[in-house]
Amino acid sequence: MSRSYFIHTFGCQMNESDSQRMGEALARAGWEPTAVPERADLVLVNTCSIREKAEDKLFSALGRYRLLKTQRGTKIGVAGCVAQQEKERLLRRAPFVDFVLGPDHLEKVPELALTGGVETEFLDTEHYLFPQADPESSRGKATAFVTAMKGCDNVCSFCVVPYTRGREVSRPYAEVVREVAGLVAVGVREVTLIGQNVNSYAGGSSFADLIRRVAAVPGLLRIRFTTSHPMDLSSDLVRCFGEVAQLMPHFHLPVQHGADSVLARMRRKYTIAEYEGRIAALPPEVALTSDVICGFPGETEDEHRQNLEFLRRTPYDNLFSFVYSPRPHTGAILKLEEWGEVPRPTAIRRLDEVQALQMARTLERHRERVGETVEVLVEDAGFGRSRENWTVHFAGDAGIGDLVRVRVESASLVALRGIQTGIADRAPRIDPPPKRRLAVVSA
């Protein structure tokens, strides 16, 4: 009798991609996916620990899945960053969990599902073997993530990633290109190269050259990448935006704060003037997005004002803003007393001010497009993304993978709406997906 699994994913694109790899490893070992946790023999929770709230979500999800264990003996596994960070402590806090595995052991999930236990050693050498994606699980999809590197060698003082994902290891470029070619063969039209610090890639070529090599895969229409560190932005990568036709004009380049004094405490290794110099070199059509943290330890009212001023003069298309969350092991938590904690109501008020400023800007930029025609890659019926990565809903009959022209009729904060006026490039005919599909939910 076949056994079934269900994966619940929290967090970033890296986690989504890891969940897909774990699903593939389980499928190879004979497990069947199910979309309903109540029917699963194994529930795997892939966790995120970037902020405390993400961790809280894990424990409330585990509380729900615990009932399944009592009722029908469902096995429960915890993977990802919380698993890496908490290790055996997680089993003490949630003793009903059967196994815990860190991000470097995705392939071991079928084995651990049988034996139980904890597998969280980092595999930080150049001999690390990246899990090979099975292109079949992307058949019928327009877009896919492709891992370019793992880990992070920076030590930003707010960030737990170096402690949950280990040192940087880049994947050899030939492997990345092979995976992209395999995805294109099953119909994928756009790939996003992912890594915590993807532009410091060093897998036998520079990151700019990796993009050029990927762009040479016949049939690939679009390339994106995330996430980048401003210090690793080379002039060659800037040139790619103008030279590589498949590279989409969207760049997520997190600044984290608009005051030099805060950037220094964050150990970001650049000043605002340096950041501004780098973005000024980008072609004007590139839509820039960013991350900002409010209420970082010691943030004064004046530093917050500098942050707002920076955001006012920087033409971000969109901004992801967060209240600072103290994380274990990080530099800032060790200095919390010295720098001083920002009271939570103050941090939330500052976040509200940052968000109000950016929401008005994003809405204005979206509204400027009304009446224009945008090119959209269809990801689902009536839904896709523009070249700049804006979400577009449209009326029209285009299928998944088609590249369509959409006349924008209206715009909101989160999306453009319009009417399909033509097809720029029809998706090649690809057979429908085989029966096997992945049961993965994201939160």
Question: Whose Cβ is closer to ligand SAM: residue 51's or residue 222's?
Answer: 51
Closest to 183 (Cα-Cα) out of 211, 151, 223? 223
Question: Whose Cβ is closer to ligand SAM: residue 246's or residue 289's?
Answer: 289
At its nearest, how many Å lie between ligand SF4 and the CB of residue 152? 3
Q: Which residue has the tokens 């970082």?
A: 296
Q: Which stretch binds ligand SF4 (CB under 6 A): 157-165, 209-217, 341-349, 430-438?
A: 157-165
Q: What distance in Å separates the CA atoms of residue 165 and residue 143, rounded to the nearest whole number? A: 25
Q: What distance in Å separates the CA atoms of residue 371 and residue 46, rounded to the nearest whole number? A: 42
Name which of residues 343 to 362 contact ligand SAM (CB under 6 A). Answer: none
Tell me if 162 contacts ligand SAM by CB under 6 A.
no
Given ligand SAM, ligand SF4, none, residue 327, with its beta carbon under 5 to 8 Å by kind, binds ligand SAM
Contact 46, 76 (CB under 8 A): no
Tell me if 161 contacts ligand SF4 by CB under 6 A.
yes
Q: Which stretch binds ligand SAM (CB under 6 A): 123-131, 137-145, 323-331, 373-381?
A: 323-331
The number of residues that bind ligand SF4 (CB under 6 A) is: 9
Given ligand SF4, ligand SAM, none, residue 162, with its beta carbon under 5 to 8 Å by kind, binds ligand SF4
Tell me if 156 contacts ligand SF4 by CB under 6 A.
yes
Tell me if 76 contacts ligand SAM by CB under 6 A.
no
Q: Which stretch binds ligand SF4 (CB under 6 A): 133-141, 150-158, 218-226, 392-400?
A: 150-158
Alpha carbon 50 to chain centroid, angstroms: 12
Q: Which of 138, 147, 196, 246 binds ligand SF4 (CB under 6 A)?
A: 196
Q: What distance in Å separates the CA atoms of residue 243 and residue 270, rounded to the nearest whole number? A: 27
Q: What distance in Å separates the CA atoms of residue 79 and residue 86, rounded to the nearest whole number? A: 11
Binding mask 162-191 for ligand SF4 (x = CB under 6 A): x-----------------------------
Query: Strand order of the sheet with strand 143-147?
Result: 143-147, 190-194, 222-226
What are the tokens at 29?
């070992």
Q: What distance in Å separates the CA atoms of residue 131 and residue 22, rounded to the nearest whole number? A: 9
Work out the end-to-end distance of the chain between its first and last CA atoms, rounded to an integer number of angstroms.
31
Report the relative pairing of strands 169-170 and 149-150 from DSSP bridges.
antiparallel
Q: Which residue has the tokens 């058949």?
A: 139
The torsion region of residue 306 among left (phi > 0), alpha (psi -120 to 50) and beta comes to alpha
The number of residues that bind ligand SAM (CB under 6 A) is: 18
At its nearest, how many Å lie between ligand SF4 and the CB of residue 261? 18
DSSP alpha helix (H) spans, 94-140: 109-115
CA dihedral 45, 200, 223, 414 (to 10 degrees): 60
Q: Output the DSSP codes for 251-301.
A: EE---B-S-HHHHHHTT----HHHHHHHHHTS-TTPEEEEEEEES-TT--H
At its nearest, how many Å lie between ligand SF4 and the CB of residue 94? 26
Binding mask 97-136 for ligand SF4 (x = CB under 6 A): ----------------------------------------
Q: Which stretch binds ligand SF4 (CB under 6 A): 148-156, 211-219, 292-300, 380-388?
A: 148-156
Q: Which stretch binds ligand SF4 (CB under 6 A): 155-163, 239-247, 388-396, 410-418?
A: 155-163
Question: Whose Cβ is closer to ligand SAM: residue 325's or residue 391's?
Answer: 325
What are the tokens at 216?
């040479």
Alpha carbon 217 to chain centroid, angstroms: 23
Q: What distance in Å separates the CA atoms of residue 201 and residue 415, rounded to the nearest whole number? A: 32
At its nearest, how many Å lie between ligand SF4 and the CB of residue 294? 15
At its nearest, how many Å lie between ligand SF4 and the CB of residue 157? 9
Name which of residues 217 to 246 contact ligand SF4 (CB under 6 A). Answer: 229
Tell me if 13 contacts ligand SAM by CB under 6 A.
no
Q: Which residue has the tokens 């980008």?
A: 282
List of residues contacting ligand SAM (CB under 6 A): 12, 50-51, 158-159, 161, 196-197, 227, 229, 254, 256, 291, 293, 322, 324-325, 327
List of residues contacting ligand SF4 (CB under 6 A): 152, 154, 156, 159, 161-162, 196-197, 229
